[in-house]
């Protein structure tokens, strides 16, 4: 039910409420984080490089095809869980042809401990078929072609291009998205914004391994609930506050 004020009541109310100074202006939003200067960004990656010159991904694979499958399976799953499931799978099916011969039911049985395993099994079979039909059974060295495969998005394509083919790509997962906004290196509202921002600010000599340094840092040090600032290599540069302490 709508309640209407009488004319006299409205006049009285308006008389008691003079327009406040600045009325009609939107309330200021939260302050945007100030970007780090280029020399600080370079120092961050110089420290990562010194601590771990050749960072490695944690997914297990034997060729480009098994890497592609492993990354597809890793969506909403841990690398440890994926590795546990794929050891047996890749022992019997390390090519698209062998995977198709194995069949969807058997693939599903191998990966049933992984989240969304039914949909992922379908995608593995479907992408294997398309690799044979369109690319002669080989994994294409092209982001657009990779993203055309079932279950493969930009992040998955970037991981394969980076790890196996040595392209300087940035695959933005939840860890990398979080710390890029937290430090901040390249604040963004979407993974694509963060990816493009990082490609702009990271010095060229560090781009090849930047993806791994940032993901590992976010996974093991700059954690979501409580970043372990007391053992962080870049705590003096990072602008996240308040810094956490042990205990």
Catalytic residues: 155, 173
Q: What is the arithmetic mean of pLDDT over 181-186? A: 95
Per-residue confidence (pLDDT) for residue 33, from 0 to 100: 58
Domain ranges of the chain: 64-163
Cβ distance 175 to 162 under 8 Å? no
What residue numbers does the annotated binding site for [4Fe-4S] cluster cover? Answer: 222, 229, 232, 238
Per-residue confidence (pLDDT) for residue 35, from 0 to 100: 81
* Percent of the chain whose pLDDT exceeds 70: 87
Nearest to 140 by CA among 132, 123, 211: 132
- Tell me the per-residue pLDDT of 83-95, one tens digit each, with 9 for 90 and over: 999 999 999 999 9
Per-residue confidence (pLDDT) for residue 21, from 0 to 100: 41
The CATH architecture of the domain made up of 64-163 is Orthogonal Bundle (1.10)
Those residues with Cβ within 8 angstroms of residue 214's Cβ, 6 or more apart along the chain or in another chain: 175, 176, 179, 180, 185, 198
- Between these two residues, 9 and 199, which has the higher pLDDT value? 199
pLDDT tops 80 at residue 217 = yes
Per-residue confidence (pLDDT) for residue 34, from 0 to 100: 74
- Tell me the per-residue pLDDT of 4-56, one tens digit each, with 9 for 90 and over: 333 333 333 334 444 444 444 444 444 555 789 999 999 999 999 999 999 99
Per-residue confidence (pLDDT) for residue 51, from 0 to 100: 97
Cα-flanking dihedrals φ and ψ of residue 182, to 5°? Answer: -80, -40
Per-residue confidence (pLDDT) for residue 32, from 0 to 100: 53
Q: How far apart are CA 194 and CA 51, in angstroms?
A: 24
- Tell me the per-residue pLDDT of 137-179, one tens digit each, with 9 for 90 and over: 999 999 999 999 999 999 999 999 999 999 999 999 999 999 9
What residue numbers does the annotated binding site cover? Answer: 222, 229, 232, 238
């Amino acid at each position: 039910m709508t309640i209407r004020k009488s004319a006299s009541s409205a006049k009285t109310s308006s008389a008691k409420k003079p327009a406040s100074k600045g009325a009609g202006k939107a309330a200021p939003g939260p302050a945007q984080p100030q970007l780090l200067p280029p020399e600080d960004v370079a120092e961050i990656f110089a420290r990562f490089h010194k601590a771990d010159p050749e960072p490695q991904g944690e997914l297990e694979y034997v060729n480009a095809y098994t890497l592609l499958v492993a990354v597809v399976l890793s969506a909403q799953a841990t690398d440890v869980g994926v590795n546990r499931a794929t050891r047996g799978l890749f022992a019997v099916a390390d090519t698209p042809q062998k995977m198709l011969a194995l069949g969807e039911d058997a693939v599903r049985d191998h990966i049933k401990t992984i989240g969304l395993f039914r949909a992922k099994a379908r995608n593995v079979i479907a992408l294997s078929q398309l690799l044979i039909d369109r690319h002669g059974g080989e994994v294409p060295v092209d982001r657009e072609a990779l993203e055309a495969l079932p279950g493969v998005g930009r992040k998955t394509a970037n991981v394969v291009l980076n790890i196996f083919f040595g392209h300087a790509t940035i695959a933005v997962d939840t860890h990398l998205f979080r710390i890029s906004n937290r430090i901040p290196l390249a604040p963004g509202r979407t993974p694509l914004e963060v990816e493009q921002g990082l490609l702009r600010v990271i010095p060229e000599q560090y781009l090849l391994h930047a993806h791994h340094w940032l993901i590992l840092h976010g996974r093991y040090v700059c954690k979501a609930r409580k970043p372990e600032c007391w053992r962080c290599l870049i705590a003096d540069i990072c602008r996240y506050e308040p810094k956490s302490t042990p205990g």
